[in-house]
């Protein structure tokens, strides 16, 4: 088999309801230093706003009992936000088709058209980017996790055997990225990490400082991941350890914001050193 020519480009999937600053900027810095360039995409093409707590060094994280935004991370995120990078955010709804409802009058023809258009979109994305990054924060809960177009993007990279990185609530999108006919999880038998129960909010879910508060998270990501990987795989919360980053190719998963820089290091290792397994 001929080795695929690298494009040195990464596609970062962003929520229009906000991203946690360092969960993008941390891995982005490491990947850019390794020679990779970024494009950004959101469900409808709207620029993703940075969540206020992720640039507030006085923000006290209730579950962890500590201020989690460091001065260094704040400076990095604010420097990134001062650039025009996110102004060119792509529109995922223009890149991937929407699956038709079964109740559509011309359903069979529309479904056939959907699969063909999806195939072309997946091939284009895989040809353009070496990997995808599902950026974390509370925003993904709203418009990324159960987004069919995001699932189709993920499935395209999974089928091609290309790296898929996800951090914090970005990991939840992997749970629901399944072939529509077979319903089988692409995480079955894999080792993953993600937001553990001990990190879950009672209220606020990281939207403090905005006019949107959905209360506690609508699900426990730990429970979802544990059930999804099955007895053949394993969820690693690593509660009590400062970081939790797991590589089980093609997936690179990270628990939360404290893992952002290490997550970037492992992402680089996967792309440049052929790392296939790490963290357990």
pLDDT digits over 10-51, tens only?
Answer: 999 999 999 999 999 999 999 999 999 999 999 999 999 999
The string over 84-104, giving b where at least 16 C-beta atoms fall within 10 Å of a residue's C-beta and e elsewhere, is ebbeebbebeebbbebbeeee
CATH 3.30.450.40 holds for 9-278: no
Q: Which two tokens stand for residue 46?
A: 């709207």
Task: Give the pair of three-digit tokens for residue 196.
Answer: 């553990």
| pLDDT on residue 106 | 94
Model pLDDT, residue 212: 77
Q: Is the pLDDT of residue 205 over 90?
A: no
pLDDT in tens, 112-157: 999 999 999 999 999 999 999 999 999 999 999 999 999 999 999 9
Q: Which residue has the higher pLDDT, 54 or 2?
A: 54
Taking each helix axis from N to C end, the angle separating 71-81 and 21-33, rounded to the nearest 10 degrees, works out to: 80
E-strand stretches of 30-168: 37-42, 60-61, 66-67, 90-91, 131-134, 164-167
Mean pLDDT (the chain) is: 95
Looking at residue 244, its pLDDT comes to 98
Task: Determine the pLDDT at residue 249.
Answer: 98
Strand pairing class (131-134; 164-167): parallel
Residues 83-107, mean pLDDT to the nearest whole number: 96
* Residue 53 pLDDT class (50, 70, 90 cuts): very high
Is the per-residue pLDDT at 185 higher than 80?
yes
Q: Model confidence at 1, in pLDDT bands (50, 70, 90)?
A: very low
Q: What is the CA radius of gyration of the chain?
A: 18
Paired tokens of 172: 């939840």
User: Is the preceding peptide bond at 250 cis, omega within 30 degrees of 0?
Assistant: yes
pLDDT band at 3 (very low <50, low <70, confident <90, very high): low
% pLDDT > 70, the chain: 99
What does the pLDDT read at residue 2?
Answer: 46
Task: Compute CA distances 231 → 184, 235, 252, whole Å.
Answer: 15, 10, 20
Residue 52: is its pLDDT beyond 60? yes
Distances (CA, A) of 23 to 51, 67, 107, 127, 130: 11, 16, 40, 25, 19
Q: Domains of the chain: which residue ranges?
A: 9-278
Question: What's the mean pLDDT in 241-255?
Answer: 97
> 92 or 214, which is more confident?
92
User: How many residues make up the chain in this entry?
Assistant: 280
What pLDDT does residue 210 have?
77
Predicted TM-score of the model (pTM): 0.95
């Amino acid at each position: 088999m001929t080795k695929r020519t690298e494009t040195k480009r990464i596609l970062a999937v962003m929520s229009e309801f906000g991203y946690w600053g360092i969960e993008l900027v941390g891995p982005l810095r490491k990947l850019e230093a390794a020679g990779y360039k970024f494009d950004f995409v959101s469900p409808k093409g709207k620029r993703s706003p940075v969540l206020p707590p992720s640039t507030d060094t006085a923000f006290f994280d209730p579950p962890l009992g500590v201020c989690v935004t460091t001065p260094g991370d704040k400076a990095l995120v604010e420097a990134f936000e001062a650039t025009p990078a996110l102004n060119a955010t792509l529109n995922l709804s223009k890149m991937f088709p929407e699956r038709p409802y079964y109740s559509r009058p011309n359903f069979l023809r529309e479904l056939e058209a959907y699969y063909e258009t999806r195939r072309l979109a997946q091939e284009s994305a895989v040809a353009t980017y070496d990997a995808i990054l599902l950026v974390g924060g509370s925003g993904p809960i709203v418009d990324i996790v159960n987004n069919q177009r995001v699932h189709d993007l993920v499935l395209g990279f999974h089928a091609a055997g290309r790296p898929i990185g996800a951090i914090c609530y970005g990991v939840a999108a992997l749970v629901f990225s399944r072939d529509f006919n077979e319903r089988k999880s692409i995480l079955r038998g894999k080792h993953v990490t993600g937001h553990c129960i001990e990190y879950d909010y009672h209220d606020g879910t990281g939207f403090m400082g905005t006019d949107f508060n959905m209360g506690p998270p609508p699900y426990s990501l730990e429970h979802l991941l544990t059930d999804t990987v099955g007895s053949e795989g394993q969820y690693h919360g690593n509660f009590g350890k400062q970081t939790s980053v797991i590589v089980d190719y093609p997936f690179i998963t990270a628990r939360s914001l404290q893992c952002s820089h290490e997550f970037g290091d492992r992402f680089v290792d996967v792309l440049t050193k052929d790392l296939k397994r790490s963290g357990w």
